Amino acid sequence: MLVVKIGKKTTPRENIEDDVAFLNFVKTKKEIDTLNESLKKSKEHLSTAAKEELGESDAATVTFQKDGYAIKISFGWDIKIKDEDLLKEIIGDRFEDLVETKVTQAPSKKLKELALEDDGLQKCMVVKEKAPSVTMVKVA
């Protein structure tokens, strides 16, 4: 029987459809985890093979093909600025041309709470309900 826990309170939930959905979720999640681990190993292997194929080439993409399927592997770099002052010193006057500056505004936790209650604030923001997060956790 399915047990529902809200805070520290637990109560039974006697609904066969809920039981079936729960068991199906657990089974499917385990299968996905196993498949993801297998997929990760295949990705690592093919990435290594792609690097071997590239050798000293300047290309950044390798495509493996077989039986009407193709797997494309692309390599790249994630580059971020960690010392802005030193970078300015090195590239000098070109800094403004070579560096993109972005300014973002995001609501604070308190503003989010207020926006859920105030129609006036909602006119200034996009407020939409997130899809529920459903995860499997181990019970102690």
pLDDT for the residue numbered 129:
86
Taking residues 58-68, report their average pLDDT.
Answer: 93
15-29, 45-59, 63-77, 119-133: segment of lowest average pLDDT: 119-133
Radius of gyration of the chain (CA): 26
Helix (H) or strand (E) holding 64: strand 61-66
Among 62, 80, 79, CA closest to 71: 62
Contact 86, 99 (CB under 8 A): no
Contact 105, 96 (CB under 8 A): no
pLDDT for the residue numbered 54:
95
Residue 4 carries which side chain, given as an amino acid letter? V
6 to 11, 15, 40: CA distances (angstroms): 9, 17, 36
Residue 71 CA, distance from chain mean position: 21
Structure tokens of 140?
């102690």
∠ Cα 61 62 64 (to 5°): 150
pLDDT for the residue numbered 123:
87
pLDDT for the residue numbered 132:
81
